Copies of this chain bind each other. A is one copy, B any other.
Amino acid sequence: METVGILGGTGPAGRGVAARLAVAGHDVVLGSRDAARASDVASAMATRGSGTITGGTNDEAASCDLVVVATPWDSTIATVTPLRARLDGKIVISMVNALTREGREMVPVYPPRGSVAAQLAFALPQSAIVGAFHHLPAAQMEDLDSGIDADVLIFSDDAPARERVAEIVGASPGLRAVVAGSMSLASPIEAFTAVCISVNIRHKAHSYVKMAGLVE
């Protein structure tokens, strides 16, 4: 069972994924610029199942077998660039969405290469970039009793890495893995997060995407 490091892991998105992966048996390290705060956040999290959640530096998180990027989009590249050597040869999962607030809506911001995942692929040429976990409501992810039953759309140009992430997602409670395809789908999958959040703001809901009618 891989250890999993989460860069920028103390935010709601990172904590939500950490909670689910720990239940599935992974030992998870929440990485942060502030390791002491990451330890406090990790200690406060409920765990269930065999996996642990601890806090550390982003460098410690990047030393795990598999690394999830959960930083704000505008600090993603600055965070991973000094960690490149540690990330070489590893699966790096991007759950980052480039969004900005416009009144009562979240709207997408398109990075120069179309998606944050594509920016990561350029910054980390020796890593296998996989996109996942974009559309999930963070609080419902962290609350293991929320009853969430969400689809996780997965994309990568590296087919074995994509399949391994699909296995990990599918083994996590409340999540179904749906392989969408290649990095050509990164931009629409990331940008659609703006729609999910805007729907939730407008309808005061915590909804999430299901691909209905899809039988695996």
Which chain A residues have a beta carbon within 8 Å of chain B's beta carbons? 102, 104-105, 107-108, 137, 140, 148-150, 153, 178-182, 184-185, 187-189, 191-192, 194-196, 198-199, 202-203, 205-216
A206 to B215 CA separation, bound complex (whole angstroms): 10
Q: Are B194 and A185 interface neighbours, CB within 8 A?
A: yes
Q: Are A153 and B199 interface neighbours, CB within 8 A?
A: yes
Give the oligomeric copy count: 2
Q: Are B199 and A208 interface neighbours, CB within 8 A?
A: no
Q: Are A213 and B206 interface neighbours, CB within 8 A?
A: yes
Q: Are B205 and A195 interface neighbours, CB within 8 A?
A: no
Q: Are A188 and B180 interface neighbours, CB within 8 A?
A: no
Chain B residues near A182: list those with CB within 8 A: 102, 105
A151 to B102 CA separation, bound complex (whole angstroms): 24
A159 to B104 CA separation, bound complex (whole angstroms): 14
**Can you sample 14 A-B contacts with CB below 8 Å?**
A102-B182, A140-B213, A149-B212, A150-B212, A178-B203, A179-B203, A181-B198, A181-B199, A181-B202, A188-B192, A203-B216, A207-B212, A207-B213, A210-B211
Tell me what chain A mostly uses at the interface: helix, strand, loop, or mixed: mixed
Q: Are A188 and B188 interface neighbours, CB within 8 A?
A: yes
Chain B residues near A179: list those with CB within 8 A: 202-203
A213 to B202 CA separation, bound complex (whole angstroms): 14
Q: Are B192 and A203 interface neighbours, CB within 8 A?
A: no
A161 to B211 CA separation, bound complex (whole angstroms): 28
Answer whether A211 and B207 are a contact pair too, CB < 8 Å, given A188-B192, A198-B180: yes
| Minimum C-beta distance from A163 to chain B (A) | 12
Pick the contact of A212: B102, B105, B187, B209 (CB < 8 A): B209
Chain B residues near A150: list those with CB within 8 A: 212
Taking A108-B188, A188-B195 as known contacts, 17 extra A-B pairs with beta carbons closer than 8 A to each other, sorted by chain A number, are: A105-B181, A107-B184, A108-B187, A149-B212, A153-B195, A178-B199, A185-B194, A188-B191, A189-B192, A189-B195, A191-B191, A192-B195, A196-B211, A199-B214, A205-B213, A205-B215, A207-B214
